Amino acid sequence: MASVFGAFPVMFMIVAAVIGVGGIVGLVKGIARLRGSASLKEDGRETTGTVVDSQMESRGAGDNRFMVFRPVVRFRTQEGREITAVGPGASRRSFVKDSTVPLRYHLERPTEIEIVTGEGSGSGAWGMIAGGLLAAVAGLFFVLVGWNWNVT
């Protein structure tokens, strides 16, 4: 009779590989955001904008679910175009409507913004890099545990 647990190490390794690949994707996206942020600091224009809304996003799973908020900001470019854009930085608190925030925008793609200081500032890149690295290492660890389990 075949063991019920015979396929378990293989499934364990598949799930671990998916976690690892997801971690690598997060790591690559975080690095891309970091580069985009550096580009904005070099070539972007600074101005002030007005928070017009907060975009809600659910994160986590099960009992660990929580909400984060991204600022929806309206501002004018140097050319006078009115732009509404969502900032990449997230906060656990909703942004105060009609508050003024300093921001940086890309000249060619003005909807690409970054809040300069305060709540929601930055690109969110370091969180993505840390989370991606953690998931990639965890995935690799569990693949190796599953491999060892399969071999022995």
- DSSP for 57-110 reads EEES-GGG-EEEEEEEEEEE-TT--EEEEE-S--BSSPPPTT-EEEEEE-SS-T
Above 90 in pLDDT, residue 97? yes
For the chain, the first-to-last Cα distance in angstroms comes to 20
Measured CA to CA in angstroms, residue 139 lies from 15, 41, 73, 135 at distances of: 8, 34, 37, 6
Tell me whether residue 5 is exposed, middle or buried, using C-beta atoms within 10 angstroms of its C-beta: 0 to 12, 13 to 18, 19 or more.
Answer: exposed
pLDDT digit string, tens, across residues 7-19: 666 777 788 888 8
Which pairing describes strands 66-76 and 82-86: parallel, antiparallel, or unpaired?
A: antiparallel
Domain locations in the chain? 4-151
Element containing residue 113 per DSSP (H, E): strand 113-115
Give me the mean pLDDT over the 110-120 stretch: 81
What phi and psi, each to the nearest 5 degrees, are found at residue 50? -115, 130
- Find tokens 């508050």 and name the residue: 99
The pTM of the whole model exceeds 0.75: no
The pLDDT mean for the chain works out to 82
pLDDT of residue 51: 94
For residue 4, the model assigns a pLDDT of 45
- pLDDT tens across 41-89, in order? 888 899 999 999 999 988 878 888 888 898 999 999 999 999 999 988 7
